[in-house]
Amino acid sequence: MADNIDVRPSTDSNKVKVATDDIGDVHYPIYKIAYGADGSVTPVSPANPLPVVDPNIHNVPINEFFHRHTGVETTLSSAAAVNDTSIAVVDGSGIPDGTDLQIGDAIIENTFPRVVSGGGTNTLVLDRPLDTAFLSGEAVASVSFALNVDGSITAVSFKVIADTAQVWFIERFLIALTHSVAADDSKFGSITALAKGCLLRTYDAENDVFKTVANWKTNSDMKLSMYDVAYTDKAGAGNFGTNGRWSLKRGAGVALKIDGNFDSYIELLVQDDLTGLVAFNINAQGSIEDR
């Protein structure tokens, strides 16, 4: 069908005028924007601007370490309530003090509470009150944030995974390496440049697609990704540090989406021996889609 149609002007005595813009003998209707619930209308004006919502502002923050499960798991032997500072488990023998825990099945307790006392028993005292209530029988698993592992023979995977039925947008990574000697751009932290690298990638489980975001072999590689990388001197008998901040939204105008409806995730794959570092952690920050 050809573009544009002919309309016959009305000759009726009670006809009304319709605003148009005549461009090359084609009349384009002019509309005024209004808003309101069903049965009401408010014309947009300087006194009544169009209500808008910034799609990048959400109400629930995400602050989660890249982590892996250590293989030690148990379940709750009784329900846990919001603000409880201890949990009862079926078998706590493999969970010593200092263990970071993932609690829950579908909805996971935020930021992984740590066992501060009662380790090895069936009553584990946590370092903070719980944010979420859990049912008896829900999972309790030991997790590790320590990325300074040996992945030279078999790569070691650390992940950030959205909770079931939640969609997360990750906008920033905070990176911290601790080492016993000073760092420079040619090294990774303070150790020799890596052969394979620390691979940061996303996995879209809905479409079964991996996407590499970065592969860091040296501190200089990290600077090329995020620029905000700083070396810190040790204090007294302490350690040196290499710290980075990668603000994806500010720097590249993007956020990495993790859809918990399909078990999607962001992965840090350690492919070299990083045990020469004192510590290595990466924290992912963003928000939960709440509309």
165, burial (CB in 10 Å: exposed 0-12, middle 13-18, buried 19+): exposed
**Digit-coded pLDDT (tens) for 262-282:** 989 999 999 999 999 999 999
What is the domain partition of the chain in residue ranges?
A: 68-145, 146-291
Domain 68-145 belongs in CATH node 2.60.40.1930 = no
**Digit-coded pLDDT (tens) for 32-87:** 888 888 888 888 888 888 887 666 566 778 899 999 999 999 999 999 999 999 99
Distance CA 287, CA 88 (A): 30
Confidence of residue 95 (pLDDT cuts 50, 70, 90): very high
Distance, first Cα to last Cα, the chain: 39
The residue written with tokens 């840090």 in the block is 268
Distance CA 276, CA 120 (A): 30
Handedness of CA 171, 250, 175, 210 (dihedral sign): positive
Distance CA 87, CA 75 (A): 10
Q: pTM above the 0.85 mark?
A: no
